[in-house]
Structure 1
Amino acid sequence: MTENFDPLRLSTPMIKRRASAPPGPPIPKDVLKNYKEKASDLKTKIKPYVQKLHELTPEQRRAVFYKLTQGQIRIDLTGTGLRVFAVGEDTLLAMVRGENLDSLLKKIEDFENATPKKGHIKNEKIGFGITDFELGKPTDRLSESMLEQYEHLIELDSFIFEIELMANESHRGPQLRELQQILDDLQAAITLNGVIYEHEFSAGFARVVLRTSGSMFQKLVEDEYWQTRIIRFENRPEFETFTTSLKNFSLTSLGKIEAPSENSEVVCIVDSGVTSGNPFLKPVSREDQFTSFVEGNNNPFDEYNHGSGVASLAAYQELNISAGAVNRASAWIVSARILDENNEIETQLLSSVLEKVVEHYSELGVRIFNLSVCVRNKPWNEMTRRAAKRSTWVARKIDQLSKKFDVVFIISAGNLTLDAVNAFIADGADYPAYFQSEECKILDPSQAALAITVGSIVPSTTVLTARSTPIAEQYLPSPFTRVGPGILGEIKPELVDYGGNWVVFGDSDRVTSNAGTNLIMASNKLSPAIAHDAGTSFAAPKVSYKMAQILAELRALFREHISSSLLRAFLVNSSSIRRSSYPNDEIDQFAARFVSVGSLARILGYGTADLSKAVISDQYSAICYYQGVLSPDDVAFFKIPVPKELSRSTGKKRITVTAAFSPDVSQNGLREYLSARMQWRLFRGDATEGDVLAAMSKDVEADTEAEGTDALEEVSLLGNTEDEETASNTKELKAGRFKLRQRSKGTIQHDVFEWKQHKEEYSDNDYVLAVSLFKRWSSSPIPLAVVVRIEDVSLSVPIYSAIKVRLSQIRVQARV
């Protein structure tokens, strides 16, 4: 009888309450000794504003806000009477909730009169956190691009932009009434020369799309009434898509174009629409479920020539246009059209549209949403992080929808333009050096924490013109791809896939596109039926295709509900860095060059997902999994069987671990964006429970507050030189490809451990995977998934059966 190598369920973990985390790092002595001087300086800065506040009427006070600058110690304004409404990298904007600044001054006085103990002092996050305090300016509420263009914008006859409103009330009912009143006042103010198109409420805030004249825009920015009612101004998003056509193609020369099986999964393409009549798309389209979410346009089909190409790659992964080639689809396609014929969402909020899309399709059972649409004018970099604390409105909405509906968003990382790359090169920054620029960061909303972000690598170096030279070698990052990190400073993009390449033409340094380095995809026409193009837009649907395959396989194997956390864990756990089989290949050379521009993980992520390793094992490997929930501040102990048989293998051994969780998402702010953090560590069988609990009690991020920062540690994506059998700490496996702090930032955490010699005594007991959640602002249990692959890379010693037997024994022991 043939043995099946299906995934093996891990035993329900033992749960322990983690020990209280030790206090953060002490304040340096040379700083701490000057605390009285620091308090006096702060009072001197703040007291002039105290008197001015007393002289103002309540309505005038409502218009006042302050700009606070913070240093390495993050400001905590709890109990000060100040309400923060915008957070930058080193600044806060805050308004007074009451009538004065007395509570803030009292906190500073308590700080001044306190006695330092063990490197800490009362109210240190105020006394040492605030480095400057000044009156805010009206233009502090403008986005970076609007601030630069302000003098031009106020001269325009008319233009569309977005604003964010804030209620001053504390409770939901009064907040909604206050926001409605502000909207009514806004409508009255702009009636003669403007219009409000759409708005969206969320936890004391509202997002509004409106059109006004430049002069009216200036009044909204500068007039006293609007100072703390409109807390943010932003340009309308400019959406990034790419399209061309391929003319020399004969559909009649192809073999069969086959539809997916009835049990195949559905991918929702959130884009410019899909042309279901295209010969490649007709067999995969569930046209009766196509919907247009474009205001005033009920046509669900592709008028811009982008969504159709994305859909074809999500259904087939790639199109083969060779004579006689058979194209077999593996996913069904539904289309949610959100972009008009001009590739715009002119009068609607993208966040609001996405909510309608997910609400509609989740009722139809759709679990996978492909969003190959990015906001071209909003890279997630240092400048955009100076924005208001709700500046990541669209990414936040994606995360909230992912959590609420238990779905997965696959999002493209965004692309550099040809003009941008040519400008970098003209300034002396060649490939890959230009990736260090802030302008190369991923585009909004691809920083979303619960989504999977996809970058692009090069599929080949084939070109169609003799005088053109490809910029990047096979498997290297595409020259147009973008660089992380994500919203929490985590690894983004998580995955990369084939998206194309660019070339240098002739003897010049001029970079251009080339049909030979592009991907083939369906067009939005009946004829010609195909197009070709390059971009992360077309790498993302390849990952959606793989996700659909994984979901279909898991549903065929298990009766239980497959959570979005488990889907993400299975997908990412199959990933690795693509490389050739030759020693010292291009990836090694690239890695050596990339050290100068930061961690390679920021651009290649965890690598490329491999369907052959995602769900099914073989006799030399075993995939183990778990899905359930874990409460914040608990530690889950998973027993991982690593059989003694591995000691007989003379080749490389490997353990791959991926943990994913789906915490709640805050309504505002970035520092406490998620309700909890996750951290995991892997221990050998000789580690005691005390060893594990001690290690898991410390939140590696607690003393750094590194959310939203770019400070990622260097990693060795291609393998660590330290063998796990000779690592300095033999109880914990530490020589993975990613540093603990780096992998602990995100909602998907992955690492790979490899070694050559396996000592039998380390398998006397099971290895232990410890997963801990660290509470931020909610104690609600959080969905958790774990996927572990144990393998003998040399394929010399069968281990699947031994692991299967041991897991059965563990389950029996747990029931006794």
Structure 2
Amino acid sequence: MSGRGTGRRFNNRKKHGDDIHGDLDFVFHELQQRQPALGIDPRLILIVEIDAQTVGPADETDWSRAGLRVVEAREASRVIAFSDDPQMAEFLRRLDAYSEGPRSGNKTASYETFFDNITSVRPYGRADRPGQALAARLAQTDDQTDDVLTVDVEVWHPGDQEKADGWLKALNTALARVGAEVHDSFSSQAAGVSLMRVTASTQIISALLNVDLIAKVDVLPAGTVDHLSPSDVKAEQLAGLPESPSDAPIVGLIDSGVQAEHPLLRGCVVEATTVSDAFSDGVDRHGHGTNVASVLLRGSIEEQLASGDWDVPPCRLISVRVLNAENQVSYTKLPQSEITQAVAYLASQGVKVINISLGDEDSLIGRGSGAPTLAAVLDSLARKFGIVFIVPTGNVIPAEYSGPFDAEFRSDYPQRMVDSPVVSLMDPAPSALSLTVGGAVPPLRAAALGQSPIGKPGWPSPFSRIGPGINGAIKPEVSAPAGTLGQALDDSQPKRVDAFMVAVADGRLDSQALVSYDVGTSLAAPHVARACAVVEDAYPDASANLIRALVLQSATSKESPFSAVANMSDGKREAQTLRFCGYGQVSEQRSVLSGERDTVLFAEEEIPLDSVHLYTIPIPDAFFASGAEERGIAVALCYDPPVRARRMDYLGSRMQFELLRGVSPASTIDLLLAEEKQARRARKAAGLSLPTISSLPSSQRIPLKPSRSARSAGANQLGRFVWRSALKSFNENSDEFVLAVQNVNRWDMPTRKQSYAIAVRLWVGDRLPPVYMDLRTKVRTMRAQAAARAQIRS
């Protein structure tokens, strides 16, 4: 995905400077019309500079109350889109009224509460369109230089697909007229994204920055360099490995292709293909796809290599190649277009789970809290096809955040990452509907004397990028082994040490090794894809929401990398750990199996917008048994709302849940309604003081961790709580939990119903009575009682 042809020149340029701008700008004026509510009119966009110290990045509610739609949030500004000229005029009139100060007889200026944090307002223009890499490149270019660059151009999406296609076609015509070459274009109404990949002179690209239709322009990201370390594994050690069962679920892999006859992959690959006209076949010419496929099919192979006892792969594989021999999308293709075609093909083959271990290093969520374009495209595809996407957080080079390396780096690198602005998630890791996977330090093998691993087993890998996700969502949701680096005692520089890395199939064409060692979050993601395949195998009819929920509820947290940090509160420690590890590491076995002391209940439903669903969950008798043994509950909620890339409120609706005890279902509804801000204001005005869910004691409102406010920003949520002593009965409702699931509309169609899945795990320690048969009996009784009530009511 790196830039190409930087030394080439156009010999037949037709126009320069303002002439080019005029030609392109005319395209927009030919197309001026009012836009639908979910689209954007490029003429009606303002940059509002704010006081970053007082206005947070996820406060769209305040902006929407003022009639403003935020399409992008930056550290010290908001990009505002208006629906029509009168709305923009009214905003500017209010701003003028504020700037005039208090009117006579008033102590404050008009609209002071809202406008007090605004420092300036200006039109969205040329300075806002270039990405960081392009801005740096153009700053080094003088008027006499006319090099050629390949760039990605984001075009504002009008909310109507026919109109979006018209804009792209008109821009294509105008660019061709001035000698530029449009390689590829892509548009998705569901994601709210329109893109072009263009090769043009720097003068033409500079002129594009003046065109109202254009949202962003940036050069292609640079390629990456891989450094696999070959092992001495012999072919006989990999002979006769068990193949995938013929009826195992098929997992999709979108990557650089695979070497299907590699001994670790042989008998497991259904198809290795490509749907791109940039490639002739699906054979891996780089090696990355084969690396990832070996983890997906074989898992962690270090112990299996040592013992010779190999597990049966839990899935089969269809590989769709989208990356070239340099592990990049062809420079003539948009990754959004290539991946969309690949996903459509895999969906047509019945694939529900797709691993995509790739990312764009030049598209980081830290540069604005809006959704990157590839993430938005994945979310729209997940919803359209019912797909579970597994994506990694992406990698960061420790030197980019560490400062001077020293002996303390081995233990304090997490804090250095928190303090750095360069470690945020890489597109498509912020994808809300995907399960995003961070890298974790694996169990470590013995290394040569003088080599120490960076981090402890279970800690985040020192190269794994960190969250949060869009609007503060918990990202990554889970972590998995990705390897770590080492440090020599006499040299603090990080080094690649085989004993601290991950063993993978070597798919490089020029390598003599069958197995090599590597590190990276690309190798963490397929561990989670395996768990999803195990769930699909156990429940073939499960929806994507249910697969994600069952995998998510299996997550267990490890020791926090901040456990030894002094003067850090428990809440701060939890919040920072979530940024690295999410909810923890998943378990294939816990995803699908209930044990005597560890039982899972689950359900799938559709909920109307602005509605509440209630579930009663029987409490096992073991929870009331005396003793100091632990007992706990975990609740996972996954749903797939519509998304819009150019909305600060990215998800069309927001779901959340509460777990209550000793509260009747009817009272639960009242308490949820009482939580609403409008209701609180009404009570205050009436002088009333009614209870809310937040005011309940912890014995009735189970204080799940993380908190509702922390987890509800995402589409994949998990809340857990552990009791270390027996529960006490205190009223007639205290022998059951009430799980309240609420769906609050943001901008979705009011008549739409939202699909979701919940999974609840109840478990007890070894010295307490089993819970499985107890729960099974109680659930059957509850179902029978519910059926009897339905018959009486009918």
What residue in structure 2 maps to residue 17 of structure 1? none
What residue in structure 2 maps to residue 39 of structure 1? none
Question: Structure 2 length normalisation: TM-score?
Answer: 0.81
Moved more, 805-814 or 67-76: 67-76
CA distance in 2, matches of 1:701, 1:330: 51
Residue type of the partner of 2:150? I
1:162/1:691 CA distance change after superposition, 3 Å: same
For residue 532 of structure 1, the aligned residue among 490, 500, 517 is 517
Query: How much has 1:180 moved relative to structure 2?
Result: 2.1
Q: Aligned to 1:362, what secondary structure does the other structure show?
A: helix
1:408/1:301 CA distance change after superposition, 3 Å: same
What residue in structure 2 maps to residue 207 of structure 1? 195
CA distance in 1, matches of 2:557, 2:386: 28
For residue 757 of structure 2, the aligned residue among 768, 781, 785 is 785
**RMSD of Structure 2 on Structure 1 (CA):** 3.6
For residue 757 of structure 1, the aligned residue among 689, 713, 726 is 726
* 1:655–1:789 Cα contact (<8 Å) kept: yes
For residue 731 of structure 1, the aligned residue among 690, 693, 700 is 700
CA distance in 1, matches of 2:286, 2:611: 50
For residue 589 of structure 1, the aligned residue among 564, 572, 577 is 564
Query: How much has 1:794 moved relative to structure 2?
Result: 3.1
Residue type of the partner of 2:438? G
Pair 1:434-2:416 in alignment: yes
For residue 392 of structure 2, the aligned residue among 400, 407, 412 is 412
Pair 1:244-2:221 in alignment: no
What residue in structure 1 maps to residue 632 of structure 2? 654
What residue in structure 2 maps to residue 161 of structure 1? 151
Residue type of the partner of 1:351? Q
CA distance in 2, matches of 1:620, 1:301: 47
Q: Aligned to 2:217, what secondary structure does the other structure show?
A: strand
1:434/1:427 CA distance change after superposition, 3 Å: farther
What residue in structure 1 maps to residue 352 of structure 2? 367
Query: How much has 1:444 moved relative to structure 2?
Result: 1.2
CA distance in 1, matches of 2:753, 2:227: 45
CA deviation profile, 1:691-718 (whole Å, cap 9, x unmatched): 4532355369999xxxxxxxxxxxxxxx
Pair 1:604-2:588 in alignment: no
What residue in structure 2 maps to residue 403 of structure 1? 383
CA distance in 2, matches of 1:175, 1:327: 50
CA distance in 2, matches of 1:442, 1:701: 35
Query: How much has 1:633 moved relative to structure 2?
Result: 0.9
1:64/1:478 CA distance change after superposition, 3 Å: closer
- After superposition, residues 310-321 of structure 1 pair within 5 angstroms as 310-319=292-301, 320-321=304-305
- After superposition, residues 205-284 of structure 1 pair within 5 angstroms as 206-222=194-210, 226=211, 228-238=212-222, 242-254=226-238, 256-284=240-268
Q: Aligned to 2:258, what secondary structure does the other structure show?
A: coil
For residue 552 of structure 1, the aligned residue among 524, 537, 541 is 537
CA distance in 2, matches of 1:350, 1:701: 44
What residue in structure 2 maps to residue 774 of structure 1? 744
CA distance in 2, matches of 1:399, 1:809: 39
1:101/1:621 CA distance change after superposition, 3 Å: closer
What residue in structure 1 maps to residue 784 of structure 2? 812
1:623/1:114 CA distance change after superposition, 3 Å: farther
Residue type of the partner of 1:188? R
Moved more, 478-487 or 412-421: 412-421
CA distance in 1, matches of 2:159, 2:315: 47
Query: How much has 1:292 moved relative to structure 2?
Result: 1.8
Q: Among the aligned pairs, what percent are the same residue?
A: 22
1:785/1:150 CA distance change after superposition, 3 Å: same
For residue 680 of structure 1, the aligned residue among 646, 653, 657 is 657
CA distance in 2, matches of 1:575, 1:100: 47
CA deviation profile, 1:323-355 (whole Å, cap 9, x unmatched): 644353221111111110112211211111111
What residue in structure 2 maps to residue 134 of structure 1? 122
Query: How much has 1:265 moved relative to structure 2?
Result: 1.3
For residue 405 of structure 2, the aligned residue among 425, 429, 451 is 425
CA distance in 1, matches of 2:164, 2:396: 41
For residue 542 of structure 2, the aligned residue among 556, 562, 565 is 562
| Greater RCO structure (CA 8 Å; 6+ sep) | 1
1:69/1:322 CA distance change after superposition, 3 Å: same
What residue in structure 2 maps to residue 483 of structure 1? 466
What residue in structure 2 maps to residue 582 of structure 1? none
Moved more, 125-134 or 567-576: 125-134
Query: How much has 1:810 moved relative to structure 2?
Result: 1.8
What residue in structure 2 maps to residue 613 of structure 1? 590
For residue 196 of structure 1, the aligned residue among 169, 182, 194 is 182
Query: How much has 1:378 moved relative to structure 2?
Result: 2.5
Moved more, 606-615 or 640-649: 640-649
1:275/1:803 CA distance change after superposition, 3 Å: same
What residue in structure 1 maps to residue 10 of structure 2? none
* 2:251–2:352 Cα contact (<8 Å) kept: yes
Residue type of the partner of 1:792? V
CA deviation profile, 1:379-417 (whole Å, cap 9, x unmatched): 221x244xxx6x611000000001111110000111122
Query: How much has 1:516 moved relative to structure 2?
Result: 1.1
Q: Aligned to 1:438, what secondary structure does the other structure show?
A: coil
1:166/1:455 CA distance change after superposition, 3 Å: closer
CA distance in 2, matches of 1:438, 1:106: 37
CA distance in 2, matches of 1:199, 1:125: 44
Residue type of the partner of 1:425? F
What residue in structure 2 maps to residue 631 of structure 1? 608
* 1:649–1:792 Cα contact (<8 Å) kept: no
Pair 1:330-2:298 in alignment: no
Q: Aligned to 1:91, what secondary structure does the other structure show?
A: strand
* 2:439–2:460 Cα contact (<8 Å) kept: yes
CA distance in 1, matches of 2:566, 2:525: 23
1:85/1:415 CA distance change after superposition, 3 Å: closer
* 1:662–1:784 Cα contact (<8 Å) kept: yes
* 1:453–1:492 Cα contact (<8 Å) kept: yes
Residue type of the partner of 2:373? W
Question: Structure 1 length normalisation: TM-score?
Answer: 0.79
Query: How much has 1:311 moved relative to structure 2?
Result: 0.3
What residue in structure 2 maps to residue 472 of structure 1? 455
* 2:394–2:425 Cα contact (<8 Å) kept: yes
* 2:70–2:78 Cα contact (<8 Å) kept: no
Residue type of the partner of 2:394? G
Pair 1:309-2:291 in alignment: yes
Query: How much has 1:128 moved relative to structure 2?
Result: 5.3
Q: Aligned to 2:474, what secondary structure does the other structure show?
A: coil
Residue type of the partner of 2:743? L
Unmatched segments (≥5 aa) in structure 1: 1-56, 556-560, 580-584, 704-726
Q: Aligned to 1:733, what secondary structure does the other structure show?
A: coil
CA deviation profile, 1:634-669 (whole Å, cap 9, x unmatched): 111100000334322521111111111111112x42
Pair 1:542-2:527 in alignment: yes
1:143/1:672 CA distance change after superposition, 3 Å: same
Moved more, 426-435 or 277-286: 426-435
Pair 1:187-2:176 in alignment: yes
Pair 1:350-2:335 in alignment: yes
What residue in structure 2 maps to residue 380 of structure 1? 365
Q: Aligned to 1:216, what secondary structure does the other structure show?
A: helix
CA deviation profile, 1:418-443 (whole Å, cap 9, x unmatched): 54366563799752222111211121
